[in-house]
């Protein structure tokens, strides 16, 4: 057997065993994961890009391929929780970085709420981040 094929066999065996033995493999806690704002402040206006990074705090590494299933952007930090704006996911530019497009129609504090699933982890990441929209 060639070295390449043997390596593939080992990788496949590991993948299968990790699927079968949930309990026996040390896995990170879902609470180790955290979304962080790349830019705390963004100029108010239409079609602004919000960039966040999903970090594994235990390893200090960004986490790619998370599935973001919930997102909301509203002005709760300024007492206007009912003032929400539409948010659309944008293509990522680097692993572990997630981008959204939104119209920040008013200067002030905007709360970005994100719900996400991380590959291979049970539970969900639920974070609320506050963005400052500047005039
Ligand atoms: Cu407002």
Closest among 131, 52, 121 to 93, alpha carbons compared = 52
pTM of the entire predicted model: 0.79
| The predicted structure's pLDDT at residue 9 | 63
| The predicted structure's pLDDT at residue 88 | 97
| The predicted structure's pLDDT at residue 78 | 98
Instruction: Tell me the CA–centroid distance for residue 67 and ligand 1, in Å.
Output: 29
**Environment class of 108 (CB within 10 Å of its CB; exposed 0-12, middle 13-18, buried 19+):** middle
User: pLDDT averaged over consecutive 10-residue blocks of the chain (135 residues)?
Assistant: 57 56 60 97 98 97 97 98 97 96 98 97 97 97
Instruction: Tell me the CA–centroid distance for residue 40 and ligand 1, in Å.
Output: 17
Instruction: Tell me the CA–centroid distance for residue 109 and ligand 1, in Å.
Output: 8
| The predicted structure's pLDDT at residue 2 | 54
| The predicted structure's pLDDT at residue 1 | 47
Instruction: Tell me the CA–centroid distance for residue 49 and ligand 1, in Å.
Output: 18
């Amino acid at each position: 057997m060639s070295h390449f094929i043997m390596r593939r066999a080992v990788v496949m065996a590991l993948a299968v065993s990790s699927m079968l033995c949930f309990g026996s493999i040390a896995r990170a806690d879902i609470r180790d994961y955290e979304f962080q704002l790349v830019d705390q402040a963004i100029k108010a206006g239409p079609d602004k890009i919000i960039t966040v990074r999903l970090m594994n705090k235990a390893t200090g590494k960004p986490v790619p391929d998370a599935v973001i299933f919930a997102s909301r952007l509203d002005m709760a930090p300024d007492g206007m929780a009912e003032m929400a704006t539409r948010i659309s996911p944008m293509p990522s530019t680097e692993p572990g970085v997630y981008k959204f497009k939104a119209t920040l129609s008013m200067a002030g504090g905007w709360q970005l709420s994100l719900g996400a699933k991380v590959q291979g982890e049970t539970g969900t990441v639920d974070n609320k981040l506050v963005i400052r929209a500047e005039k």
